[in-house]
């Protein structure tokens, strides 16, 4: 399975016991949805390798304590430390009409009520306090906060997001 067909779940951050148990730092607002997985894909040197899960339970709310099949010693666990974990995109539940996953809006057009066509979403920056649409307008990058007050409509069938941004926000990028 290709990494582009998957989404990032989290990272193995710590050993939990001498019997190969590991703690995973989950990248989610809903950690409980990962409690009863049967298997997961671990990125080992650029290859996604499936691992079957013997048992798992939430540990201190944002960590998942996992025991993988055939990972029975501290050395086995050491070999997986700092590895990233993934699941197929098909694992994600369907969202309501106006909600979206970041990966699915790449390539969508952005239309602003006052400005008109802003450009095409090339990515989402979620490393800041507020996630940002990264929009390409003829080689110029425009950043618009992913704020519910700015997003007026998400038209998935036509791959368009309609926004109403504060006056002058888009001009800051165009008139540099």
* Structural domains present in the chain: 3-91 (2.40.30.60), 102-174 (2.30.30.240)
Q: How far is C-alpha 56 from the geometric centre of its chain's CA atoms? A: 21
What 3-state class would DSSP assign to 64?
A: strand
Q: Note the pLDDT tens digit of each residue in 24-57.
A: 999 887 888 888 899 999 999 999 999 999 999 9
How far apart are alpha carbons 11 and 25 in whole angstroms? 5
What b-and-e string marks burial along 132-168, b requiring 16 or more CB atoms within 10 Å of the CB? bbbbebeeeebebbbeeebbeebeeeeeebebebeee
* Residue 129 scores a pLDDT above 90: no
At 100, is the pLDDT very low, low, confident or very high (cuts 50, 70, 90)?
Answer: confident
How far apart are alpha carbons 68 and 77 in whole angstroms? 9
Q: Shortest CA distance to 77 belongs to which of 21, 130, 161, 5?
A: 21
């Amino acid at each position: 399975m290709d990494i582009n067909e998957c989404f990032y779940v989290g990272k193995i951050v710590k050993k939990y016991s001498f019997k190969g148990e590991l703690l995973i730092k989950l990248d989610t607002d809903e950690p409980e949805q990962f409690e009863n997985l049967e298997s997961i894909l671990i990125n080992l040197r650029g290859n996604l390798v499936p691992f079957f899960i013997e048992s798992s339970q939430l540990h201190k709310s944002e960590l998942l304590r996992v025991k993988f099949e055939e990972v029975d010693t501290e050395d086995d666990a050491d070999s997986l430390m700092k590895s990233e974990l993934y699941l197929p995109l098909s694992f994600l539940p369907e969202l309501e009409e106006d909600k979206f996953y970041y990966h699915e809006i790449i390539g969508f057009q952005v239309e602003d009520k006052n400005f008109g066509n802003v450009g095409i979403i090339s990515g989402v920056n979620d490393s800041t306090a507020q996630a940002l649409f990264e929009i390409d307008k003829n080689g110029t990058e425009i950043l618009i906060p992913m704020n519910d007050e700015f997003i007026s409509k998400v038209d998935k069938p036509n791959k368009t997001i309609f926004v109403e941004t504060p006056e002058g926000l888009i001009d800051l990028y165009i008139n540099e």
